[in-house]
Every structure is written in C-alpha cells, then in structure tokens.
Chain A
Amino acid sequence: MPNSKLRAFAGMPMLLRFRLRQDRFKLLCWIGGLALFSIGVAYALDGLFPSAEERQALAQTLRSPAMVAIIGPSDALNAYTTGAMFAHRMMLFTALAVAIMNILIMNGHTRGDEEDGKVEMLRAASIGRLAVPGAALLEMLLVNGLLALVHGIGLGAIGIATMPFSSSLLYGAALGAVGLMFAAAAALFAQLSTSGRGTLTLSLALLGAYYVLRAMIDTRSPELSWFIPLSWSYLTDAYVLDRWLPVLLALGLSVLLVLAALWLNSIRDVGAGFLPQRGGRLHARRSLLSPFGLTLRLQRTMLISWGIAMLVIGLVYGSVFGSLDEFMAGNASLERLLPPGSAGDLNAQFLSLLTVVLAVMGSIPALTSLFRLKSEENRGMLDNLWSRSVSRRHLFLLHCGFAAAVGVLALLLASAGLYGTQASSMDHPFTVGIIFCAVLSYIPALLFVIGVGALLIGWLPHLTGLLWLYLAYCFITDYMGDLLNLPDGLKKLTIFSHVPKFPVDAWQWQPLLWITLIAVVLVAAGYAGYRRRDMR
C-alpha cells in the first residue's frame, strides 16, 4: 500500500524546517568556514607560488611516500598547475572535515536525539516512523548540495586561470558527495548502535580506517584506491582530469546506505539497536581511584588525539626537509619567513622556525588540559571532589603538573615524528640530539604559558580565554613576524621569541632557567589566588 509507506514520512517537511532552523548557525559556521578557508588557501597558493618552477619544486617534496600517505597522490606532479596544487593539497583534508561535519550532525539528529528521549517526543506527535531519519537525511542532502555549490562558485570566482568554474564545481561536488556518503553511513550506524557515542565511534572509526587503508594503498598500488570510498574525493582529479565518475559512485553508495538505514529503522523499536549492548564496569579499577587517575581517565581521549596529531605534524614537517634547498631557491616570500642571516645553514634555520610552530602547537593540548580545572568547576563537577577530602592545593598542582607533562609529551612526539621523516628524506640528516634539543628547548616557554594559565585560573577565571588570544598572537608573530615586517617591540611580547634559536644560535642555559623560574612564580601566584577564591 503506497499510502502507508508515505505515511511513514508524515511530518517530515515540518521536521526538516525545524532542523534547518535549529542548525542554521552551526551550518553557517561549517559551510562558511570551510569555503572561506578553501578560497583563502587557493588565493594564497596562487600568490606564494606564482611561477611554474616554484610549483614544480614544491611538487618534488610531495613525491615522498610519507607525503603521499598523508595528503594523497596527484596525477599532475609533472605539470603542477595552481589548480592541481590546490586540489592535491586540500581535497583529502577538506573531505575529512566535511565527513566529520556530516557524521556529527547526522548522529546528533538520529541516535543522539533518540538517546536523549527527544525522538520519543517526536514520535508521540503525529509524525511518521521514518520522518526523523528522513528529515535528517534530507537536511544533509541540502547541506552537502549547498556546500558543493558554495565551493564550486567561490573557487571558480577567484579567477585563477587553471581553476575554471566547471572544475571548481566538480571539486565542490566531490566534497558534497563524499560528505553525503558519510552522513548516510552515520545514519546506518545509528540504527546499529544504541548510543550516540557508539554511533560516533563507529562512524569515525570507519573514516579513520579508510584514511589509513588508502594511505597504504596509495603508496604501494594506487590503482586499488578506487575500492576505498574516501579516495573518491581526490580520484576526481579536479582541475587536472576532471572525472565525474567518483561523484556518481559516492552518490550511488549513499543511496544504498540510506535505503539500508531506513529499512533497519522501520523494523526496530525506538531506543533499540542491532548491536549487542556491552555492560559497563560495576566497580572502578584501582587506577581510577585518585584525583590523578580520574584526571587521566577524563582527558584520555583528548590526549590520545593530540598525541597522534603532534606525531603527524612532526612527520609532515620532517618530510619537507628533503628537497628544501631546491624548494627554497628563488621563493622570495618563503625566504622572508626565515630568520635573517642567510649565511647560516638553510636547513638549520628552517628547523628553528619549525620548532617555534611545534612549541605553540604543543601548548594547545597543555592549556586544554590545564583549563579542564576551570571547565570542570563551571560544570559543577568539582563539587564532587571538594566535598570529599581532596584539597584545593592537590587539585591545582595536579592540573599544573599534568598540563606540563602533556606539553612535554606533545613536544617529544613531535620531535620523534620530525626526526623520523627528516632522517629518511635528507642526505645529511640532523642527529637525534639536535632535533630533540631544538624542540625541547621550548619546554620553559611552554611552562610559562601554563604559568599564565594558572595565574588566570587563580585570579581571573572568567578571562582564561585571553590566553588563547595570546597564543594565537605568538603563533602569528613568531611564524610570520618577519614576513609582516612587525616592529621588534611587538615581536618581543611573545615568550617564544626569548628562547635561543638552537641550532642556529648556540645552546644557552641561562634564558631557559630564567623562563622556568618565572613560570614557577606564576604558578605559585596562581595558587595564592585559587586557595582563597570562591568556587562556582
């Protein structure tokens, strides 16, 4: 009876309007942010590498297996136009971001809402059985369509000769189709798992598995890449071969996944799933039973993610060293990025620039970890600890120490990654000692940032956001201060500029000890405020 099938979708248009209203700001941020970023990069790449020789030099650095594994292959490394360069560098990572957006929104509107009991409320109203997943899928169809159009039109409108409208539309369509495919996959997983977290884990695990699989395949037998749906993004080869087939494949697979998800949804109860439910622990392990154990457990996921990220950043930067000399030749803007004094070894200068970047990056997980002390307080979680026999001093120093350990670990992982790929791609690689000393000389600066964070938590907990601005300022100034011709006074404001630039400069203990001492004083001052202020 077609009538009863249609009735299953009753209320879907209304629900769709509601979802779009509910999500409009989030969607604006995602689509606008991604599109602006892509357009900005295309524009910047065109300016940074205006000549064919410069682009070709860059292409050389991207042939190494490490880079193919990370950013994907390109068929145009011998004729590296701006369009080819843009698609090669951006497609896979943007596709990953689009996939994550789709997974997050889809999960929230299906299993997430079901877990919160909202789906039950909707189903109790006169809404069909399939209206909830149906509206979510329609929303994602619109969202991905819009994302494709905005990318296509935006990139085409820059007016770069090798980036025509037709190819830009393909580039956008590839992103949208891959995104839709992951929305459909998340919808399917939402039928299998009984929790929003489970759905999220399954969806992200699929995405991660595709990424790793294609990295292995692309470095060995690229023709098998066609079997990995995530690869359909860059297999379109926008701006080079302009293949539409991968887009059609992605749309076809999406339809199959959607049908499967809707069918499973129609035969199951609200709240039920098809995967067996795992019972949780009835008792805590001994390792959880202390403030330290609890902190470790609560931050575990964040720490693992950042650990992987720092390792990958180290690997990527390390792989750039190989053909740095050829790459640098004649590139005026990149040369200006590096510290002046061209007499010194270019590789050493590049290393000392990278170490600042790694130090700023490493400060992010350290600060995130430290600020948990504040966010847990705001969420009322710390009441659980204060009201038992845990002292303020214990918690405060625990979080400062923990943050320092996180930062040091992040730097160690980045150093290891950096060492690994530069050792395999350079004729005369740096020794382990030089790489680790160069990166780890920023530990005092990292401690200083933690010290300022501790001071804010102790005295001005509502202003901790300022430290992120300071960190962003440090990043821009230290990375691009020379490029922007900033006055020396402004450059001196960043703590990272006070660290001796090893190995370009000689190793010096004195400034490092001073910075460490200041950091310790800051933490102590922060504690003085923390012990006497009211808890929220």
Chain B
Amino acid sequence: MGAILTVRDLSKQFGHFSALKKVNLEVEPGEVVGFIGPNGAGKSTTIRILLGMLQATSGDARIFGRDVWSDAVEIHKRLAYVPGDVNLWPNLTGGEIIDLFMRLQGSGDRAQRDRLIARFELDPGKKSRTYSKGNRQKIALVSAFATDAELFILDEPTSGLDPLMERVFQECVEEVKAQGKSVLLSSHILSEVERLCDRVAIIREGEIIESGTLNELRHLTRILLRSETVSPPEQLETFPGVHDLERSGSRAVFQVDSDQLGAVMNYLAGLGILKLESTPPTLEDLFMRRYEQSGAKRSETER
C-alpha cells in the first residue's frame, strides 16, 4: 500500500503573493507527521488545499490516491478534519453539532462519541455560543475521533486546551495511530509534536525548509554542553562552531555544532574533565535555529 497523502511541488498564488512554493509532503499509513511553522507560513493554506477548499495553482496533491480537488467528497468520507479556529453555529448545542458533524462525515460510533465526550469533560447540552475556545475545539475533536476515518488532518487542534485536555488529545492520537491510521498534525506546541510525531516537516514562507525524522533533523543542530575542567578552557571561543559561550573560571556553558563536537571534546579532554553534561537539542531549539538562519539569510539578501 502506498502513501495515504502525497503532495508534489504544490504551489499556490494569491494574486502576486506566493503562499506556497513547491511544497512536498507525504504521510504513510500508520504515521503521524508533524507540520510546523509560524503563523502565515502556509500551514493552513496547504491544509485548505488538501481539503479541496482552495485550488492549487500548480502541483499535485492526492489523498488515498485521489485528487484532492475533484474527488473531495469521496475523500472526505474517509477523512476527519479539526480546524484551529472552530466556528460553530451559536444556536445549536454541542451535542447537536457533534451529531450533525458525524452524520455529514458519513461514519461514526455513538458509543465512542459518548465516551469521548466524557473523556474531554464536555457538557454537550449547552448552546455553542456559551462555549470557550477550548470547548469549541473539544466539539471538533470529539466529532473527529468518533468517526472511523483513516486520515486525521488536525490544524493546531490544542491551542485552546488546558494541559489535562492536551494529554487526553495526545492519548487519542496515540490510539488512532495504534489502529494503523494516519495523522497530519499542524502545531505550534513543539513538545506535543516531539512526543507524537514520527516525522516532521518545517514550513517557512511557503517553503518546506526541513523534513525528516526527529533524529535526522537533530544531526543538523547544536548540542548544549556544560563542562567543568581542571584548567580553564580559555581557547574555547576560538573553535569554530561554538556559540553562546558563558565562561566563569573553569566552568563553561555553551552550544556546539554537531559536526564540531569531536574537536571540542578533544580540547576539553586535554584540560582534564571534571564534569560534563550534554543536552540533545529539543525540537524547539531546532526550530528556532532554522528560523534564525533563514531569517539572517533573508536580511542579507534584502540589503
């Protein structure tokens, strides 16, 4: 069986503005893919193209092997979507909306619906005008996870949830993953992506600037080191690839590029290591670093 979702060289122009530039993305069966990037980077535009709401200017986007634009209705029968901004009709109750959404999607399990409502601690008897942002997101999440969709497209689904509910959400994602279903998770919360996702794709100004497994991406980044040596590491600042150095006497805290790690370690070993701590980069470090780099590049070209 091939990929559930494939995006090839997808571009989207709004007038003269290029919202997406040759985006490539793939989601395999049973895989959770994180889609990260700041506001306005093109995450939602990509997702709206995948849902058949926007028509791509060029490129190819397929879900279940079908074209996302012309076969939208067929695709949507096997897909569940949770938007970041959940807009609900204020006069309907949460329970009514969940039932409607399940019916319009075309599948769904009533018992599962009630279980999810209990897990998310949602009161379905209230008019949706009285719901907070978090509660509106719960409505969309319950409606999505109560269906037996094969692909879940989640666009910043937890931005309004409290930490406890975020945990429930993560459990739900793990459950559908265990059932062999696929998830495309766009998110700001990098710890969440780090915990849930097999692969990540980082998008910036309409371009995918990085994609791969977390381990693959970590090679491209810096490691945080804390060291204490017998003699003070006075030459440390002269090494290429050492950044953000804070030194007081024989102690030092600094970051080092992965490819320069060996040279730095040899130097420290020569000084007599008393203590050494290393922290692998978090996705957040990685993300910030990629952004700073591209940002610097851009301001150079703008000069």
Residues of chain A at the chain B interface (Cβ within 8 Å):
115, 195, 197, 279-284, 288-291, 294, 297-298, 379-381, 383-391, 532-535
Can you show 28 pairs from A to B with CB atoms below 8 A apart?
Answer: A197-B127, A279-B125, A280-B93, A280-B95, A281-B93, A282-B125, A283-B95, A283-B96, A284-B95, A288-B96, A288-B99, A289-B99, A294-B100, A297-B92, A298-B89, A380-B83, A380-B87, A381-B88, A381-B89, A383-B51, A385-B104, A386-B53, A386-B72, A387-B76, A388-B101, A389-B76, A390-B73, A532-B55
B81 at the interface (CB under 8 A from A): yes
B232 at the interface (CB under 8 A from A): no
In the complex, the answer to whether B54 meets A383 with C-beta atoms within 8 Å is no
Shortest beta-carbon distance from A377 to chain B in Å: 10
- Pick from B73, B87, B99: contact of A384, CB below 8 A: B87
**A387 to B104, alpha carbons, bound, how many Å?**
9
In the complex, the answer to whether A281 meets B125 with C-beta atoms within 8 Å is yes
**A383 to B153, alpha carbons, bound, how many Å?**
13
B259 at the interface (CB under 8 A from A): no
In the complex, the answer to whether A387 meets B81 with C-beta atoms within 8 Å is yes
B191 at the interface (CB under 8 A from A): no
Which secondary structure dominates where chain B touches chain A? Answer: mixed
In the complex, the answer to whether A289 meets B73 with C-beta atoms within 8 Å is no
**A381 to B86, alpha carbons, bound, how many Å?**
8
In the complex, the answer to whether A283 meets B99 with C-beta atoms within 8 Å is yes
In the complex, the answer to whether B77 meets A389 with C-beta atoms within 8 Å is yes
- Centre residue among B74, B87, B104 by max chain A CB count within 10 A: B104
In the complex, the answer to whether A389 meets B101 with C-beta atoms within 8 Å is no
B160 at the interface (CB under 8 A from A): no
In the complex, the answer to whether B53 meets A388 with C-beta atoms within 8 Å is no
In the complex, the answer to whether A284 meets B85 with C-beta atoms within 8 Å is no
**A290 to B81, alpha carbons, bound, how many Å?**
18
User: Which B residues lie within 8 Å of A379 (CB)?
Assistant: 87
Residues of chain B at the chain A interface (Cβ within 8 Å):
48, 51-55, 72-74, 76-77, 79, 81, 83, 85, 87-89, 91-93, 95-97, 99-101, 103-106, 124-127, 129-130
Shortest beta-carbon distance from B276 to chain A in Å: 51
Known contacts A388-B104, A389-B73, A390-B104: A534-B55 contact under CB 8 Å: yes
In the complex, the answer to whether A389 meets B96 with C-beta atoms within 8 Å is no
Shortest beta-carbon distance from A121 to chain B in Å: 15
- Pick from A282, A386, A389, A533: contact of B93, CB below 8 A: A282
In the complex, the answer to whether A280 meets B89 with C-beta atoms within 8 Å is no
**A185 to B9, alpha carbons, bound, how many Å?**
63
- Centre residue among A195, A389, A534 by max chain B CB count within 10 A: A389
In the complex, the answer to whether B99 meets A115 with C-beta atoms within 8 Å is no
12 more A-B residue pairs beyond the given contacts A297-B92, A387-B53, with a C-beta to C-beta distance below 8 A: A197-B129, A279-B125, A280-B96, A288-B96, A298-B91, A381-B88, A384-B88, A384-B104, A387-B81, A387-B83, A388-B104, A390-B104
User: Which B residues lie within 8 Å of A282 (CB)?
Assistant: 93, 95, 124-125
**A389 to B48, alpha carbons, bound, how many Å?**
15
**A534 to B51, alpha carbons, bound, how many Å?**
11
In the complex, the answer to whether A380 meets B85 with C-beta atoms within 8 Å is yes
Known contacts A288-B100, A298-B89: A389-B125 contact under CB 8 Å: no
User: Which A residues lie within 8 Å of B93 (CB)?
Assistant: 280-282
Shortest beta-carbon distance from A532 to chain B in Å: 7
User: Which A residues lie within 8 Å of B129 (CB)?
Assistant: 197
**A132 to B161, alpha carbons, bound, how many Å?**
31
User: Which B residues lie within 8 Å of A280 (CB)?
Assistant: 93, 95-96, 125-127
User: Which B residues lie within 8 Å of A534 (CB)?
Assistant: 53-55
In the complex, the answer to whether B95 meets A281 with C-beta atoms within 8 Å is yes
In the complex, the answer to whether B53 meets A289 with C-beta atoms within 8 Å is no
Shortest beta-carbon distance from B155 to chain A in Å: 10
The residue in chain A whose Cβ has the minimal distance to the Cβ of B96 is A284
User: Which B residues lie within 8 Å of A381 (CB)?
Assistant: 87-89
